[in-house]
Structure 1
Amino acid sequence: MKKIEDITVTFIWGGKEATAFANVIYKTHRVDIGPQGHREHYMADVPYDMDLEKVEVMIDGKVVKDDENLREFASQLLLEEADYQLCEAA
């Protein structure tokens, strides 16, 4: 298992700026992405099965723990940001 630490996203929730933080843990598997150039095959580590740990959501500098809709929305954004960072690194 691999880990990306300190993923951060900022978004608007209820007219206020919210910031979410988390670490992302994920697995990878090796995939042959096909021949490139003179029949050389390139292998890539493709991420899958991403999970969040230590999710924290803040609005106006205060940690919000009781709004399940906010936490779910923030979790989706954090996973999308982690996926984006992994694609950029590849």
Structure 2
Amino acid sequence: MKKIEDIKVTFIWGGREVTAWGDCDYKTHRVDIGPQGHREHYMADVPYDMSISRISVCHGDVDIANPEPELLEFAEQLLMEEADEQLCEAA
């Protein structure tokens, strides 16, 4: 299992700026992405089974002790999108 550490997203929740930090765990498998040029095949590590393993939510410099379930769900969704974007940029 591979990991992307310290993913950060900032968003507005309830009229306040909130920052979420997290780590994303994921697995990869090798995929033949086809011939390129003269019969050369290129292999790529394609991520799958992504999940957020650690998440913390804060307002400014203060951690939110008991965040609402909806806030955690929204933050996790944004962290997954950011992790996916980082993996696409690395490819």
Q: TM-score, normalised by structure 1?
A: 0.95
Does structure 2 retain, via aligned residues, the 8 Å contact 1:16–1:60? no
Q: Give the structure 1 partner of residue 32 of structure 2.
A: 32
Identity %: 67
Alignment size in residue pairs? 90
Hey, what does 2:80 align to over in structure 1?
79
User: Structure 1 residue 69 and structure 2 residue 70: aligned?
Assistant: yes
* Alignment gaps of 5+ in structure 1: none
8 Å contact kept, 1:7–1:82 = yes
Residues 57, 67 of structure 2: 8 Å contact kept: no
Q: Report the RMSD for the aligned CA atoms in angstroms.
A: 0.9
Q: Following TM superposition, where does structure 1 have runs of at least 4 consecutive aligned residues deviating by more than 6 angstroms?
A: none
Distance 2:51 2:42 in 1: 27
TM-score (norm 2): 0.94
